[in-house]
Chain A
Amino acid sequence: MPLSWALLASLLLAVAGYLIGRSRAFAVAGSDIRSLHSRPIYHGASVALMTLTPAIIVMIAASLLRMAKALSPEAVGLVGLLALAAGIAGLGWGITRIGAGYQARNVVERIVMGVLIFCSSIAILTTAGIVLSLIFETGHFFQKYNWLDFFLGTEWTPRFQGNSALGILPLLWGTLYISLIALLVAVPIGMFAAIYMSEYASKRVRGIAKPAIEVLAGIPTIVYGLFALITVGPMLRDYFAQPLGLGNSGSSVLTAGLVMGIMLIPFVSSLSDDIINAVPQSMRDGALGLGSTPSETIRQVVLPAALPGVVGAVLLAASRAIGETMIVVLGAGAAAKLGLNPFEAMTTITVKIVSQLTGDNDFAAPETLVAFALGLTLFVITLGLNIVALYIVRKYREQYE
């Protein structure tokens, strides 16, 4: 029996269990419904959950075993039957337990809690799994390539014949340079937009402008990349780089930075908006009541009060900028370079991860494995930023509660 059928069957069993449980509870109660510890629907629900839970546990366990290759695909039919049997057993047991003193309500509560814990642990375990696999592959890489050369090398020239220079510094530099430009664009514009929205705009303007800004957040990054490639890049080259004699490359750090900045504007502005709105109105009243103008109120009272939260928002924006790939590929190119000229093409860690893993690759070669080391480095950087950001945001929240 295929698993999907077993699942459907156990669902039907659970529904039946619910109905049986409920009517048994009514029967037990007789005329005085208050003699029951729990309302009949809880009796029904507890039977349903007791049917479903063992069936699902069997199915999940079987899937895990199969992933670990401890179970042959042919055993699947058996698993379905086993799951169904577990469900029926649960159903029977659940029905027998119904009685006036049975605390069905508390049982349901405990099962619900178990399900919630299970879901949270899936999220945590997945993260741990991803990190472990990264660490594992990175370990392989460092067996084949000196870690000092990786972290301190200023050359990035992978050659599949071997003898590559795989220094992370040019990539790290490109990543930070582009992210810095992106933040320089996104933070002031996003913040000022948020200040206007929350402090100055009338309800009507707010109602139109806020969704309009948030539309920006819904655009896929590849579309931003196209915009960088066909509009911003050539424009910067023709009107700035060439006249100024700073190069004639269509893709440049500045292109990617500007476009990434635009992408981040709605992110920064909606986070800042939330944070600014969380500053109590009484703070503003206090400042206005002392005769401050609206802009003095914002500069001297609202922003200082909101500052830690805004810093957190900026760090979150930074970690998004660092992880962005598509805009960089199309906007800044793929040339790994350590340079200061913002009109030159450069590239970032994420782009190189993609390029090392696409095409024919040999998972034993350091040129391929380096992608995992790059990924882990990126992960550590963004994780660090997120932790600092969350810490700051949380600290700030406490201030007004």
Chain B
Amino acid sequence: MYDINRAESAVTQQDIKISARNVQVYYGDTHAIKDVNVEILDKTVTAFIGPSGCGKSTFLRCINRMNDTIDIARIEGQIRLDGEDIYDRRVDPVQLRAKVGMVFQKPNPFPKSIYDNVAYGPRIHGLARNKTELDEIVEKSLRGSALWNEVKDRLDEPGTGLSGGQQQRLCIARAVATAPEVLLMDEPCSALDPIATGQVEELIDQLRSEYSVVIVTHSMQQAARVSQKTAFFHLGNLVEYGETDDIFTKPQDSRTEAYISGRIG
């Protein structure tokens, strides 16, 4: 199934959604991201791989300006979303984050009902004019994250009562409900068992038809399964970026080769 999708994606001409130019990130004196240039395509799953501590999460968090919430973080360079510099002073990071959704490593549903978890984004951004519309958004998002059938009869139970995999899909539904254009996922499966991981991976593949998805993963198998593009980070550098198949079959850089053959990381 994945192969067919990948074949299709190779032939379609795709737009550039996000483009990063000479991005540097510092945490105090630590230089965590060094001169990264990358172009991320629309309607594509892009995987960030690399040994832990190499800056994958840091770079991901630049794309929705979550690093702004860390006092000591400092970002230089340019990141454009649809051609617009997101670090421009006129850009409101709060609004940006509505457009660039994020799913975190550990499922973090709010201590609210399942319904209220999903309705959270639409409510604060006024996406629904009335209860019926809100109901529709919630149902659509839960269906979109393959959770609807499991929770439709208990929407008012707390989201924290679901299993780990369900919680993570709830968090994906919550992000999708805000109608983002880009979905960032930071190791979304690392806290999940293999079955839940399979479900989330399947979901990611479906999300590709509507969003540009960027996923950080420490599992090369996962990157190979879900992504069309792969970026390999090492010690804060973007070492290699290209078609997922190429990265895994004929890596250009010796560090990439060492990593995918298990010699570093």
Contacts and interface: CB of A to CB of B under 8 A. Distances in A.
B71 A292 contact: no
Contacts of A300: 120, 124
A280 interface: yes
B66 A285 contact: yes
Interface string A277-297: 000101111111111110010
A282 B106 CA distance: 8
A202 interface: yes
Contact of A292 (B111, B124, B171): B124
A291 B104 contact: no
B137 to A, nearest CB: 13
Contact of A305 (B104, B111, B120, B178): B111
A291 B124 contact: yes
B230 to A, nearest CB: 24
Given A285-B66, A286-B171, A300-B124, A291 B108 contact: no
Given A203-B71, A282-B104, A289 B110 contact: no
A290 B111 contact: no
Contacts of B66: 285, 288-289
B94 A293 contact: yes
Interface string A31-64: 0000000000000000000000000000000000
B98 A291 contact: yes
A163 interface: no
Contacts, number: 67
Contacts of B175: 289-290
A126 interface: no
Interface in A256-301: 280, 282-293, 296, 300-301
Name A's interface SS.
helix
Nearest to B106: A282
Contacts of B102: 285, 289-290
B258 to A, nearest CB: 33
Interface size class, chain B: 20 to 34
A288 B110 CA distance: 12
B99 to A, nearest CB: 8
Contact of B111 (A284, A285, A288, A304): A304
Nearest to B178: A290
A303 to B, nearest CB: 11
Nearest to A292: B124
B56 interface: no
Name B's interface SS.
helix
B112 interface: yes
Contacts of A120: none
A45 to B, nearest CB: 45
B104 A399 contact: no
A365 to B, nearest CB: 56
Given A285-B104, A289-B102, A399 B111 contact: yes
Interface string B73-99: 000000000000000000000111111
A141 to B, nearest CB: 48
Contacts of B125: 291
B124 A288 contact: no
Contact of B108 (A202, A285, A292, A296): A285
A160 to B, nearest CB: 58
A399 B248 CA distance: 43
B101 interface: yes
Contacts of B104: 282, 285-286, 289
A259 to B, nearest CB: 37
B51 interface: no
B169 interface: no
Interface residues of A, number: 21
Interface string B104-143: 1010111110000000110011000000000000000000
B69 interface: yes
Contacts of A280: 108
A272 B101 CA distance: 31
B64 interface: yes
Nearest to A282: B108
In this complex, which of B99, B111, B124 has the most chain A Cβ atoms within 10 angstroms of its Cβ?
A: B111
A378 B220 CA distance: 66
B174 interface: yes
A296 B160 CA distance: 20
Interface in A280-335: 280, 282-293, 296, 300-301, 304-305
B110 A301 contact: yes
A227 to B, nearest CB: 37
In this complex, which of A287, A289, A304 has the most chain B Cβ atoms within 10 angstroms of its Cβ?
A: A289
Given A285-B104, A286-B171, A291 B121 contact: yes
Nearest to B109: A286
A300 B124 CA distance: 10
B94 A292 contact: yes
A290 B71 contact: no
B97 A288 contact: yes
Given A202-B71, A285-B66, A290 B98 contact: yes
Given A282-B104, A282-B108, A399-B111, A289 B64 contact: yes
A296 B110 contact: no
A217 to B, nearest CB: 28
Given A282-B104, A399-B111, A291 B120 contact: no
Nearest to B111: A305
Nearest to B105: A282
A42 B150 CA distance: 59
Interface in B174-200: 174-175, 178
Nearest to B171: A286
Contacts of A289: 64, 66, 97, 101-102, 104, 175
Contacts of B124: 290-292, 296, 300
A286 B108 contact: yes
Contacts of B99: 291
A295 to B, nearest CB: 11
A305 B111 CA distance: 6
7 contacts: A283-B108, A286-B109, A286-B110, A286-B171, A288-B69, A290-B120, A291-B94
